[in-house]
A and B are shown apart, each in its own frame.
Chain A
Amino acid sequence: MVLSAADKTNVKGVFGKIGGQADAYGAEALERMFTTYPQTKTYFPHFDLSKGSAQVKGHGKKVAAALVEAANNIDDIAGALSKLSDLHAQKLRVDPVNFKLLGQCFLVVVAIHNPSVLTPEVHASLDKFLCAVGTVLTAKYR
Chain B
Amino acid sequence: SLPRLLIVYPWTQRFFSNFGNLSSPTAILGNPMIRAHGKKVLTSFGEAVKNLDDIKGTFSKLSELHCEKLHVDPENFRLLGDILVIVLASHFGKDFTPACQFAWQKLVGVVAHALARKYH
Contacts and interface: CB of A to CB of B under 8 A. Distances in A.
Interface stretch (A16-24, A79-87, A103-111): A103-111
Interface of B: 3-4, 7-10, 25, 28-29, 82, 85-87, 89-94, 96, 98-99, 101-102, 105
What is the interface residue range for chain A against chain B?
A: 20 to 34
Nearest to B94: A112
Given A104-B82, A112-B93, A115-B90, A32 B4 contact: no
A56 B31 CA distance: 43
Contacts of B7: 120-121, 123-124
Q: Binding site of A, secondary structure by majority: helix, strand, loop or mixed? A: helix
Contact of A36 (B4, B8, B29, B101): B101
A17 B76 CA distance: 31
A118 interface: yes
Nearest to A117: B90
A121 B101 CA distance: 23
A37 B106 CA distance: 9
Nearest to A127: B8
Contacts of B98: 31-32, 35-36
A82 to B, nearest CB: 28
Given A31-B98, A36-B105, A111 B8 contact: no
Interface string A2-41: 0000000000000000000000000000011001110000
Contacts of B87: 111
